[in-house]
């Protein structure tokens, strides 16, 4: 596994801590990095403008992701549109307490 530190770029917040995410080294692609980062941070992937390797390098393709090393710091730069829709609402199956078998019962 490759361990990376990821956060949302928010210059106006005092506290903007990183979280650590793990990526399978066999699946080091831009798409997988975006998917895992957005899932862990609760962000809708459609609202990510770019992924920045700190301090100032934009990641653009799979080869850029393949060069990342453990504990590198990344930021998701979000598009500014409707602030209410930036964060992904978990689907019913992702919410705690959801019972998939119970949802498939037929009457």
In order of start, what are the domains of the chain with their CATH numbers?
A: 1-76 (3.10.20.90)
pLDDT for 82: 47
φ, ψ (nearest 5 deg) of residue 86: -70, -35
Please tell me whether the overall predicted TM-score, pTM, comes out greater than 0.75 for this model.
Answer: no
* pLDDT beneath 50: ranges in the chain: 82-86, 93-95, 98, 103, 107
**β-strands 57-59, 73-78 pairing:** unpaired
φ, ψ (nearest 5 deg) of residue 64: -65, -40
pLDDT for 85: 47
């Amino acid at each position: 596994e490759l361990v990376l530190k990821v956060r949302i770029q928010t210059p106006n917040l005092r506290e903007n801590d990183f979280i650590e995410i793990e990526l399978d080294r066999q699946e080091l692609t831009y798409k997988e990095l975006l998917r895992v980062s957005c899932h862990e941070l609760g962000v809708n992937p459609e609202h990510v403008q770019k992924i920045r390797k700190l301090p100032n390098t934009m990641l653009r393709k799979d080869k850029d992701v393949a060069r990342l090393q453990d504990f590198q710091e990344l930021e998701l730069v979000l598009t500014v549109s409707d602030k209410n829709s930036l964060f992904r609402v978990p689907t019913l199956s992702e919410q705690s307490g959801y019972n998939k078998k119970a949802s498939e019962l037929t009457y």
